Amino acid sequence: MRDGARGPGARTQDDWVERVRAASDIVEVIGQTVALKRTGRNLVGLCPFHKEKTGSFSVNPERQFYHCFGCKAGGDVFRFVQETEKVGFLEAVEILSRRAGIPVPERREAGDAGARGRLHEALEAAAAAYEQWLGDPARGAAARAYLERRGLARETQRAFRLGLAPEGWENLVQRLRGRLADDVLVEAGLAARRESGRGGLYDRFRNRLMVPLVAPGGQVVGFGARALAEGDNPKYLNSPETPVYHKGAFLFALDAARRRTERDGEMIVVEGYFDAIALHQAGLGNTVATSGTALTADQARLLKRVVPRVVLTYDGDAAGQEAMMRSLGVLLAEGLDVVVADLPAGEDPDTLIQRGGLEAWQAVRERAADPVEFVQRHVLRGGAGGRDPRERALQAVVELGVRVTDPIRRQALVERASQVFRQPERVIARAMDLRRQGQPSEKPVEAAVRRQRSGESYGER
């Protein structure tokens, strides 16, 4: 191939992008989120990217371009979707492609592309089947009654595409047989192979309420499944790791929640699917769930792309408290601002909303603690532990500070810890320095205090 020439794959992708561009009128796309009024050749509205009272956001239908005279944001229809949906360029094209009914070509290596496409096809077909079974007058009656007891409206059920995997061993396998190969159903995490001499497949999910896991862009990548029968363990069964689903790099409801973050400026992070769904139904659409797994650095980086601040809201039991302690360090290490909405013992976000509605959440949010205050509360609640609880709490804050790489954020943490624990800032800062140098985890604060009392200099190391 001569220099500068491009292969057929590149031409195919370019053709697809231009087809999507031609099919996506910028006025129609922007008009779904911004109220526009015609002024001469342009349409004008309030800018979605900054707060304003007088509209400085202008859309030119002839040039298919938008521009804000206030914050200087501007671009074409793809750029608008990138900024509002918090996605990359190709993801924005895919969103508009599906909106226009244009097939999305595979954009990965040729050998891998077809396989991923078949997995997505299988998962989408399964989601449609589960939705249909939930709506079945006879088969879905018990599952629908369960959802009603949890206070989930039919509109919410449809918005989250909730479904039912009926009782029986081969409902989905029989439904998709002939359409998709056995290997695809197994690799997608929808079926498993029998180990007996009979061979064949059986459904992975049986007699469970199905929650599709939807990635940014709208593709189903897996499922969370809640048992409907008492004693059916585990209570929650998730899809296994697959080429399209990686548990530690996925946040439930992010596809919907990212559209609300411009208004709210923060993301509420909960643990479970139904916690997130309940908050969305109550009007708190800026909510995602870690799906019951420990928060990972990959998930924190996803959040950092969308918001500057996170509100941690886990269950009000001991396990939830410990999970928030672990999550604090992960979020602070990625440079996020964090507050903790601490729930009463025995409460979780779902029951909080069911009991008191949006007002109950707002009361909890108003009392949210900063990381230092939460650590102090958590350790003091823990009671006896061999050492003075205040000392253990301060040591936990030192551990958090070691993970904060931004010196300005670390200094803010030091100042707050000094206020809460009534220790000089230089003692706390020195303790963090000693910990970074490898001092045993229970000794840096003691060492820093001893050095202060002995008048040791806190100059350059």
Amino acid symbol at 460: E
The burial class, CB within 10 Å (0-12 / 13-18 / 19+), for 422 is exposed
Question: Do residues 197 and 164 make contact, with C-beta atoms less than 8 angstroms apart?
Answer: no
3-class DSSP assignment, residue 410? helix
pLDDT at residue number 182: 93
pTM of the model: 0.76
CA pair distance 348, 167, nearest whole angstrom = 29
How many distinct helices (H) and strands (E) make up the chain? Answer: 20, 15
User: Closest Cα to residue 34, out of 58, 63, 10?
Assistant: 58
- Alpha helices (H) along 259-317: 261-264, 273-281, 297-306
Question: Do residues 211 and 273 make contact, with C-beta atoms less than 8 angstroms apart?
Answer: yes
Interval 153-191: pLDDT, tens = 999 999 999 999 999 999 999 999 888 999 999 999 999
pLDDT at residue number 457: 46
Strands 42-45 and 37-39 come out as: antiparallel
Q: How many Å is the maximal CA-CA distance in the chain?
A: 80
To 5 degrees, how large is the angle CA 445–CA 449–CA 454?
150
pLDDT at residue number 4: 42
CA pair distance 163, 181, nearest whole angstrom = 23
CA pair distance 53, 68, nearest whole angstrom = 13
- 213 phi, psi to nearest 5 deg: -100, 110
pLDDT at residue number 3: 42
Interval 253-266: pLDDT, tens = 998 888 777 666 89
- Segments of the chain with pLDDT less than 70: 1-14, 106-114, 196-198, 262-264, 292, 383-387, 440-445, 447-461
Element (H, E) at 336: none
DSSP secondary structure letters along 348-394 = -HHHHHHHHHHHHHHHHHHTPBPHHHHHHHHHHHH---SS-HHHHHH
DSSP code, position 39 = E
CA pair distance 203, 189, nearest whole angstrom = 9
Question: Do residues 373 and 325 make contact, with C-beta atoms less than 8 angstroms apart?
Answer: no
pLDDT at residue number 111: 45
